[in-house]
Amino acid sequence: TGVIRTALHNMDREAREHYSVVIQAKDMAGQVGGLSGSTTVNITLTDVNDNPPRFPQKHYQLYVPESAQVGSAVGKIKANDADTGSNADMKYTIINGDGSGVFSISTDKETREGILSLRKPLNYEKKKSYTLNIEGANTHLDFRFSHLGPFKDVTMLKVIVGDVDEPPLFTMPSYGMEVYENAKIGTTVGTVTAHDPDAANSLVRYFIDHNTEEDRYFTIDASTGTIKTAKIFDREETPWYNITVAASEIDNPRLVSHVPVGIRILDVNDNPPELARDYDTVVCENTKPGQVIQTITATDKDNSANGARFHFSLDEGLSLNPNFTLRNNEDNTASILTKQRRYSRTAQDIYYLPVLISDGGVPPLSSSSTLTIRVCACERDGRVRTCHAEAFLSSAGLSTGALIAILLCVVILLAIVVLFITLRRSKKEPLIISEEDVRENVVTYDDEGGGEEDTEAFDITALRNPSAAEELKYRRDVRPEVKPLSRHHPSSSLDSIDVQEFIKQRLAEADLDPSVPPYDSLQTYAYEGHRSEAGSISSLDSATTHSDQDYNYLGDWGPEFKKLAELYGEIESERTT
């Protein structure tokens, strides 16, 4: 076998990490003529923690402005370690110095750097520099190499605080003030104070941020910071005001600081007491003297220091009340008592009792309220049965049931009258035409005629064309005379007729002719159009012409045409006579 051993003592990985060794193997014990083979062996030295960390410098200097935020990182520092991996891990600590309470340091595991952070705010005017002793030490030690020295190093860091132009600083983080609600405009409420923390100590100007309507109730002196009232207050409406006061340097107005100011409005006794609610007081007719019928309380908009104690009494300016009396219970309540043995609704159903209420504020205020007392009929156990509404019914001698019966009869009578008037005004139903009646022209009218036997009450020629109606103009209320008319008319006369003019003529005749039917009747004119050369095949057109047509066949058409057959049979008989 071939064993590879080190040839040097205390090999150093940091000086040389990799080695290449050529190995040759020969047979025949290495004699001449034997065969051989060779190979290359690469050797890598592994790391051990044999190198302590070292800071590149023994003294460092860091500049930090006084405006740096608390908790922010203000600098970095690093100690070098020749080892790798976990052997190079280290931890940074601040071991002493006057800045140990102002700064803190932590270790970045990726970069193995010390991160310096700010724990407290800096103030250049109070302290301009800090000195820190920072130690960097390995976290994984190998005791085989402890003789090589301590595996840590210390350096000194000097932190210089930079001067920054800062905004004004208020003497308090917030202010609380008080003012009475009856204070006059211009009354001083309080003063806020701010100063320039820089060495220049610039003058400060004060103002109020008018972001809300509440801010407009106060003004502030720009030079002194004195807050004064600008309006009249009402504590019952707004008991607190919260405003924001700002301060800026005159030399640098962009640097502004703010402080909240809470102003409490103190109460004064400016609201008289009043009844807590509207009381519905009832007294029974059969009540006894000295009986409590109502307990009243009062309320006051002022706080408990100016009106929590109420005193009740009857108005002394009025004469002695013979019906009721009042008893002050000394617990902010009062009781109303009766003085009579019996009350009558018929004599008086409502009583008004003036009550005087005063508070215990300084100065005391009072108000007068009127209590309305109704007289009611009650059961023996004191339950109210009815009040003054029944008194009027009783005086008339009518009970509730009788009044309901009378009202019901009146309603029924009114319904009958309305129904009768509606039937009188309704019109006669129109003539119903059977769906099976397939005549060419269907006439429906509502004239008051002589019944079914009256066949001459309606002027059927109104439905004919204008030329035919012009030749047959006669009264609708008399029996028409049958006049012979030619069955065909020349087409030239039909073409010359203006339908609109024809209707206007008929309208004028209806308006001027005193012999026409009453003015509430309706005359309808319809134009069917020009006659065809073949002539009309309507049976209605033959009523005014001499025709040899026999209408006896209408009797064979069935019961639906029975009336029509009788009508044409009557006309035919008149012609023969």
Tens of pLDDT, residue by residue over 511-539, are 777 766 655 566 666 656 655 555 555 55
Condensed to tens digits (0 to 9), the pLDDT of residues 2-47 reads 888 888 777 878 778 888 888 888 888 778 878 888 899 998 888 7
How sure is the predictor about 229, in pLDDT bands with cuts at 50, 70 and 90? very high
Tokens read off for 97? 């110095």
Q: How far is CA 131 from CA 49, 60, 68, 91, 568, in A?
A: 31, 10, 18, 20, 141
* Average pLDDT over every residue of 482-500: 50
Q: pLDDT tens digit string along 115-159? A: 999 999 988 888 899 999 999 998 888 777 877 778 889 999 999
Choice between 268 and 439, residue whose per-residue pLDDT is larger: 268
Residue 90 has pLDDT above 60, yes or no: yes
Question: For residue 469, what pLDDT band results from cuts at 50, 70 and 90?
Answer: very low
DSSP string, 333-368: EEEEEE-SS---TTT-SEEEEEEEEEE-SSS--EEE
Summarize pLDDT for 193-204 with one digit per residue, the tens.
Answer: 999 888 778 899
410: tokens are: 């009146």
pLDDT at 266 over 60: yes
Q: Which residues of 342-362 are buried (b: 16+ CB within 10 A; e: fewer)?
A: ebebeeebebebebbbbbbbe
Domains of the chain listed by start with CATH number: 59-162 (2.60.40.60), 169-266 (2.60.40.60), 274-376 (2.60.40.60)
CB count within 10 Å of CB 539 equals 16
What DSSP string runs through 493-561? HHHT--HHHHHHHHHHHHHH-TTSPPTT---------PPPTT----SGGGGGS------GGGGGG-GGG
Lowest mean pLDDT segment, chosen from 63-67, 396-400, 499-503, 566-570:
396-400
pTM: 0.46
How confident is the model at residue 156, as a pLDDT?
93
DSSP per-residue string spanning 454-486? --SSS-GGGGS-HHHHHH----TTSPPPP----
* Confidence band of 485 (pLDDT split at 50, 70, 90): very low
pLDDT of residue 150: 84
Q: What length does the chain have?
A: 577
- Two structure tokens written together for 338: 């009766």
Count of CA atoms in the C-beta half-sphere (13 A) of 468: 27
Q: How far apart are CA 300 and CA 277, in angstroms?
A: 12
Lowest mean pLDDT, pick from 437-441, 536-540, 550-554: 437-441
| Mean pLDDT of the region 94-108 | 88
Separation of alpha carbons 98 and 161, rounded Å: 13
- In this prediction, residue 497 carries a pLDDT of 61
The helix (run of H) or strand (run of E) holding residue 414 is: helix 400-425
432 or 386, greater pLDDT: 386
- Whether residue 282 is predicted with pLDDT greater than 60 in this model: the reply is yes
Q: Are strands 175-180 and 256-266 parallel, antiparallel or unpaired?
A: parallel
Token pair 């107005």 is at which residue? 253
DSSP string, 30-78: G-TT--EEEEEEEEEPPP-S-S--B-S-SEEEEEEETTPPTT-EEEEE-
Range scoring the smallest mean pLDDT among 303-317, 441-455, 461-475: 461-475
| Exposed/middle/buried for residue 421 (C-beta within 10 Å: 0-12, 13-18, 19+) | exposed
Residue 186 pLDDT: 94
pLDDT at residue 50, rounded to an integer: 79
Mean pLDDT computed over 71-77:
93
- Whether the pLDDT of residue 492 is over 90: the answer is no
Mean of pLDDT values over 398-423 = 87
Q: How far apart are CA 90 and CA 136, in angstroms?
A: 6
The per-residue pLDDT for 124 is: 86
Mean pLDDT of the chain: 79
Confidence at residue 568, expressed as pLDDT on a 0 to 100 scale: 76
Q: How many CB atoms lie within 10 A of CB 52?
A: 21
Q: For 367-378, what is the mean pLDDT?
A: 89
Q: Give the pLDDT score at 364.
A: 85
Query: Distance (Å, rounded) from C-alpha 434 to C-alpha 368?
Result: 86
Q: How does DSSP classify residue 572?
A: H
Residue 260: pLDDT over 80: yes
Query: What percent of the residues of the chain are helix, what percent strand, and what percent coil, each to the nearest 5?
Result: 20, 30, 50
Burial track 21-35 (b if 16+ CB lie within 10 A, e otherwise): eeeeeeeeeeeeeee
Q: Which of 303, 294, 297, 306 is nearest to 274 (CA)?
A: 297
Distances in Å between the Cα of 231 and the Cα atoms of 186, 219, 228 are 8, 10, 10
Which is more confidently placed, 202 or 175?
175
Task: Report d(CA 26, CA 269) in Å as an integer.
Answer: 122
pLDDT at 576: 55
